[in-house]
Chain A
Amino acid sequence: EVQLLESGGGLVQPGGSLRLSCAASGFTFSNYAMSWVRQAPGKGLEWVSAISGSGATTPYADSVKGRFTISRDNSKNTLYLQMNSLRAEDTAVYYCAKDLQGIALAGEFHSWGQGTLVTVSS
């Protein structure tokens, strides 16, 4: 059974940094592209970033480009999101998601974690 467990969320001041982690199990992690998707309180879904199975391809949403960095450690079956220069509008539940098909980025989110809440406030 695929399991994705996010951690690292919390309260941070504007301008601060936070690193989210997503521990994966139940599948061969390196064989699948992964993404981060967020949802502000009471709002819709926003795709944040994705990473191919090898880590070579990493597109970003315009709203986070230059501030957030996605990465993965295939030896630890873990996905990361380094978030710098955080703003109030980054407040959201952050989900990690596994692609349906495989190594290449496809944007078909087959499995999701339970989410971790990031609150940016002074």
Chain B
Amino acid sequence: AIQMTQSPSSLSASVGDRVTITCRASQGIRNDLGWYQQKPGKAPKLLIYAASSLQSGVPSRFSGSGSGTDFTLTISSLQPEDFATYFCLQDYSYPWTFGPGTKVEIK
């Protein structure tokens, strides 16, 4: 199975900060990667699919990049509603695997 790692596991940031989260795959996955946001007690929400495609309705401050093994989710200007946990998911090969998550907390 493809292993997904994320860094950092958590971070503290202020409103207005630029935030970058990295996801790395144990082998190449082309651009078959998505990013999800999850708030406590809620279902995850799709932000980015195919590594860099912004899901409809998601604010443009969110962006994704990368291909192969290294991927990045960037929040250009952190907003209060962005404090949450972020997960990446590879859907290149079965079993599809999630990264362990990055918790974004208020500084």
Residues of A within 8 A of B (CB): 37, 44-47, 50, 59-62, 95, 100, 105-110, 112-115
Measured in the bound complex, the distance between the Cα atoms of B101 and A92 in whole Å is 17
Interface segment among B11-19, B59-67, B73-81, B89-97: the answer is B89-97
Given contacts A44-B101, A47-B89, A62-B1, contact A108 B94 (CB under 8 A): no
User: Which of A45, A47, A112, A113 makes the CB contact (< 8 A) with B95?
Assistant: A47
Given contacts A44-B87, A100-B49, A107-B91, contact A95 B55 (CB under 8 A): no
A61:B95 contact, CB within 8 angstroms: yes
18 interchain pairs (CB within 8 A)? A44-B87, A45-B87, A45-B98, A45-B101, A47-B89, A47-B97, A50-B96, A59-B94, A59-B95, A95-B44, A100-B49, A100-B55, A105-B91, A107-B34, A108-B49, A109-B44, A112-B43, A112-B45
B71 contacts the other chain (CB 8 A): no
B87:A112 contact, CB within 8 angstroms: no
Most buried by B among A46, A50, A108: A108
Interface of B is mostly: loop
B96:A110 contact, CB within 8 angstroms: no
When A and B form their complex, which 6 residue pairs have the shortest distance between CB atoms, in order from nearest? A107-B91, A112-B43, A59-B94, A108-B49, A47-B96, A45-B98
Q: Which residues of B contact A113 (CB under 8 A)?
A: 43
A115:B95 contact, CB within 8 angstroms: no
Given contacts A108-B34, A108-B46, A109-B36, contact A44 B100 (CB under 8 A): yes
Q: How close is B36's CB to chain A, nearest CB, in angstroms?
A: 7
Measured in the bound complex, the distance between the Cα atoms of B93 and A59 in whole Å is 10
B82 contacts the other chain (CB 8 A): no
A110:B43 contact, CB within 8 angstroms: no
A106:B91 contact, CB within 8 angstroms: yes
Measured in the bound complex, the distance between the Cα atoms of B34 and A112 in whole Å is 15
User: Which of B32, B55, B90, B98 makes the CB contact (< 8 A) with A46?
Assistant: B98
Measured in the bound complex, the distance between the Cα atoms of B90 and A93 in whole Å is 21
